[in-house]
């Protein structure tokens, strides 16, 4: 027989430490009221409230739906009301949707967007998004990139890979215990490159043949001056470095394009790395800064990234086309077999270069004493 599921409020209250505030008891009561009408599928089912869960520092648990997050607070809907908690008072947050609610799917088969992502602090986002950021290295230098598709497609700057085909990527693969394993992958493929946007698309094969973690692109162009943002990259090779700041302006015009001007610290090696908002969406790709100035840096807006990815076939890399980067020709082959002749210098070289028909006694030979005049 089916029976209504109830929550033992007394058992929950026993979790409170001595001296806990009356507010926590009220929260638990509100949670119980919100779940009492839920029906179980069988009388043998163990009562376990559905939805998101907060574990407070005192040991109490709050069930409901997380509706908003900031760097300092979190809001959860428990039914009768929406409650706000300081993150400093929360020991653990369990989000049943994993922060990817109402996934928008892949646009053009290569990148994704998402809806209703909760806002999180940079600390939380770094843990979630760190494995999506990669280091891109070439014989001429290094930069950063971000994986936008589980098959290993990653976006970086064109100037990071310009003129290079021997690409190498360093990735951080997540483990079951929450840690990551640093892995270097050699056979990275250059897929497309757009010098005007300063964007490039590469494909990184997974060493175990499984999908990569990936980051969604911003669904709507909603950046505003003063909005909190953060970047993850590899400045000067210092891997997985996070810097944060705000949007200075979203409409800085240079060379016919508009860039996002930011005060986030950007240095050589950050090029090609992602710029995230508080929801964990890629809002831009960092590409340049003015080294002689402070907090004067720029990023390519996500709308340009989407256009590049949707039309990537127009910018497909062709190794036989010299306009697609440098093509190094093979050295000329030797015309004769055997040991190369000795390199002659000085008088011996001049003697070898002298025409065979010319001799010191020949009338056509110049007078070694010079002119009599």
How far is the CA of 372 from the CAs of 129, 291, 366, 368, in angstroms?
88, 68, 12, 11
Catalytic status, residue 198: yes
SS (H, E, C) the chain: CCCECCCCHHHHHCCCCCCCCHHHHHHHHHHHHHHCCCECCCCCCCCCCCCEEEEECCCCEEEEEEEEECCCEEEEECCCCEEEEEHHHEEEEECCCCCCCCEEEEECCCEEEECCCCCCCHHHHHHHHHHHEEEEEECCEEEEEEECCCCCEEEECHHHHCCCCCEEEEEEEECCCCCEEEEEEEEEEEEEEECCCCEEEEECCCCCCCCCCCCCECCCCCCCCCCEEEEEECHHHCCCEEEEEEEEEEEEEECCEEEEEECCCCCCCCCCCEEEECCCCEEEEEEEECCCCCCCEEEEEHHHHHHHHHCHHHHECCCCCHHHCCCCCCCCCCCCCCCCCCCCCHHHHHHHHCCCCCCCCCCCCCCCCCCCC
Q: Which residues, other chains included, contact 75 with Cβ-Cβ below 8 Å and sequence gap of 6+?
A: 66, 67, 68, 69, 82, 83, 84, 85
Q: Which residues contact 200 (CB under 8 A, 6 or more apart)?
A: 155, 156, 157, 158, 160, 161, 190, 192, 193, 194, 272
The whole-angstrom separation of Cα 214 and Cα 286 is: 17
Instruction: Tally Cβ neighbours within 10 Å of residue 295.
Output: 15
Q: Point out the catalytic residue in the list 179, 198, 295, 329.
A: 198
362 is an active site residue: no
353 is catalytic: no
Which of 213, 271, 357, 364 is labelled catalytic? Answer: 271
Catalytic residue among 144, 159, 329, 371: 159
Q: Supply the residues annotated as catalytic.
A: 159, 198, 271
């Amino acid at each position: 027989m089916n029976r209504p599921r109830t929550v033992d409020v007394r058992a929950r209250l026993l979790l409170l430490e001595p001296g806990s505030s009356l507010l926590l008891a009220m929260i638990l009561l509100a949670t119980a009221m919100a779940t009492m009408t839920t029906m179980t599928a069988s009388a043998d089912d163990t009562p376990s409230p559905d939805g998101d869960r907060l574990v407070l520092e005192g040991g109490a648990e709050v069930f409901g739906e997380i509706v908003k997050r900031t760097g300092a607070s979190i809001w959860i809907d428990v039914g009768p009301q929406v409650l706000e908690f300081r993150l400093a008072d929360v020991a653990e947050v369990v989000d049943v949707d994993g922060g990817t609610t109402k996934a928008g799917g892949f646009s053009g088969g290569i990148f994704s967007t998402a809806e209703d992502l909760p806002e999180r602090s940079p600390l939380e986002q770094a843990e979630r998004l760190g494995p999506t950021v990669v280091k891109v290295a070439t014989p001429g230098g290094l930069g950063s990139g971000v994986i936008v598709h589980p098959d290993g497609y990653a976006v970086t700057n064109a100037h990071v890979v310009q003129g290079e085909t021997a690409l190498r990527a360093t990735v951080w693969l997540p483990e079951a215990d929450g840690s990551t394993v640093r892995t270097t992958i050699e056979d990275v493929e250059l897929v497309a490159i757009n010098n005007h946007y300063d964007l490039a698309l590469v494909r990184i094969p997974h060493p175990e043949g499984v999908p990569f973690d990936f980051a969604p692109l911003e669904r709507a162009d909603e950046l505003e001056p003063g909005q909190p943002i953060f970047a993850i990259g590899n400045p000067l090779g210092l891997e997985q470095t996070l810097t944060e700041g705000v949007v200075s302006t979203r409409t800085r015009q240079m060379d016919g394009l508009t860039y996002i001007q930011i005060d986030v610290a950007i240095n050589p090696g950050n090029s090609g790395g992602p710029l995230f908002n508080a929801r964990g969406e890629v809002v831009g790709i960092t590409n340049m800064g003015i080294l002689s100035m402070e907090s004067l840096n720029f990023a390519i807006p996500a709308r340009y990234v989407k256009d590049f990815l949707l039309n990537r076939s127009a910018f497909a890399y062709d190794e036989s086309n010299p306009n697609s980067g440098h093509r190094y020709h093979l050295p000329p082959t030797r015309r004769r077999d055997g040991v190369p002749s000795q390199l002659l210098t000085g008088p011996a070289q001049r003697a070898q270069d002298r025409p065979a028909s010319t001799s010191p006694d020949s009338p056509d030979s110049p007078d070694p004493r010079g002119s009599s005049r």
